[in-house]
């Protein structure tokens, strides 16, 4: 009986030794370890680019809307028209409610505030993008 147990242990030991030397599944294990951080990095870069593009669209829209409020009374005669103009000019499918129009000592003021959710796996991130412009 002891001899049978000892030979079974040797066979199991030989199998483990052979398995430890095997390189057959190393690639899939390495990929499984590196795929989540790589996916997070790639999608993080793309989402950062999207956030920067949206910020640029907000900046452009408020600048053009403040300018329009100052020089074009036909298309931008009241606050609703200015906000609608800003939403159209932005090109980022932003609603007119994103923009707030007022007047101050510097002239016509247009502000924008847009909450942006970043779609990055395993990371729940949201930022609020803002823009401000005043045109005399």
Q: How many domains does the chain have?
A: 1
Q: What is the mean pLDDT of the chain?
A: 90
Please tell me the distance from the alpha carbon of residue 136 to that of residue 71, in angstroms, as a whole number.
Answer: 9
pLDDT in tens, 24-63: 788 888 999 999 999 999 999 999 999 999 999 999 999 9
Question: Residue 112's domain spans which residues?
Answer: 2-135
Per the rule left: phi > 0, alpha: psi between -120 and 50, beta: everything else, 93 is: left
Q: What is the DSSP letter of 43?
A: H
The predicted structure's pLDDT at residue 74: 93
Contact 68, 80 (CB under 8 A): no
Residues of the chain with pLDDT under 50: none
Q: What is the pTM of this model?
A: 0.76
Please tell me the distance from the alpha carbon of residue 95 to that of residue 70, in angstroms, as a whole number.
Answer: 21
Please tell me the distance from the alpha carbon of residue 69 to that of residue 112, in angstroms, as a whole number.
Answer: 15
The predicted structure's pLDDT at residue 25: 80
């Amino acid at each position: 009986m002891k001899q049978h147990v000892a030979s079974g242990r040797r066979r199991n030991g030989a199998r483990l030794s052979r398995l430890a030397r095997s390189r057959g599944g190393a690639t899939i294990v390495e990929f499984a370890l590196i795929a989540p951080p790589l996916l997070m990095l790639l999608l993080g870069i793309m989402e950062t680019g999207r956030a920067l593009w949206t910020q640029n669209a907000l900046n452009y829209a408020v600048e053009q809307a403040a300018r329009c409020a100052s020089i074009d009374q036909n298309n931008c005669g009241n606050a609703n028209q200015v906000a609608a103009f800003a939403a159209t000019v932005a090109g980022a499918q932003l609603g007119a409610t994103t923009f707030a129009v007022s007047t101050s000592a510097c002239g016509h003021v247009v502000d924008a505030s847009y909450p942006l959710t970043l779609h990055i796996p395993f990371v729940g991130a949201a930022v609020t993008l803002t823009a401000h412009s005043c045109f005399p």
